[in-house]
Amino acid sequence: MNIASVANKVGIQLVANLMIFAGLFVYVQSVWAQSASVNQSAQGDSGIITISARGTVSSNLGRNENELLGIVAPLYPVRARQRRVDGWVLVSFSVNEDGKVDAESIVVVDSEPSGIFERESIRSASQFEFRPRIVDGTAVGVNGLQYVFSYLMDERVSVALPRDARNRDYLPLNYITPRYPSVAMEEKVEGYVLVEFTVTKEGLPRGVVILDRSPSNIFNASAINAAERFRFDPRIVDGNPVEAEGAQYLFTFEPDN
């Protein structure tokens, strides 16, 4: 088994960076142009949330009629980070009178590449919090807000949200290279292990389990041992650390030639 087959198995498709950046720039211009008439009738605003693989997040909120108060920043998907994949997701959603996002209204308008960054973008958008819009002294809901989540491998951000922000997701502090089993090394066996765990309020991994692996169980122990040594800045909600379930990491094993 080679790494190409592993990439196919987990559904990752490498896309040329130049095409992604050009497509994102053109599409965002198009979205803002098309939504101008909508905004004139008090229907919402748009902006860009930029996520780097190093854990830095920035925002360019463009028209800001609806003031965004809180962001739980999305994570850069592990498999995309390991394969150095850039991308973007455009989402649309409604906000109720309390300034909360209606989770059922979130729609992915477009994305590039497809199937990689949508889940994290939807999860983040569902936790946005806005200052309620007031019309004639009454709080009203807003439809048609659109945000682009831009995922960039390189650090190309200018206005970073502080690490002590009141709302943000957990941030990795280290990377542990798993031990390559001697038998697999001698036989030049390639493989991977996908693990999942909970990041505690203290930033420690708990309950590491294996979701997928190949081949058989040869790399399981090494992957679990490495995952248990990860350390994080914990997820922050309303200024307090909270547990984050469902964290995933893909370890790949490829012997040196």
Model pTM score = 0.50
What domains lie within the chain, and their CATH numbers? 3-152 (3.30.2420.10), 171-253 (3.30.2420.10)
Cβ count near 87 (within 10 Å): 26
pLDDT over 80 at 223, yes or no: yes
pLDDT over 50 at 5, yes or no: no
pLDDT number for residue 173? 75
Stronger pLDDT, 151 or 83, i.e. the higher one = 151
DSSP secondary structure letters along the chain: --HHHHHHHTT-----HHHHHHHHHHHHHHHHHHHHHHHHTT---EEEEEEETTS-EEEE--S-SS-EEE--PPP--HHHHHTT--EEEEEEEEE-TTSBB-GGG-EEEEEESTTTSHHHHHHHHTT-EEPPEEETTEEE-EEEEEEEEEEESS---SSBPPTT-SSB--EE----PPPPPHHHHHTT--EEEEEEEEEPTTS-EEEEEEEEEESTTTTHHHHHHHHTT--EEPEEETTEEE-EEEEEEEEEE----
pLDDT over 60 at 150, yes or no: yes
pLDDT tens digit string along 115-124?
A: 889 999 999 8
pLDDT over 60 at 63, yes or no: no
Query: pLDDT category, 43, cuts 50, 70, 90?
Result: very low
pLDDT over 80 at 161, yes or no: no
pLDDT tens digit string along 130-148?
A: 888 888 889 898 888 888 8
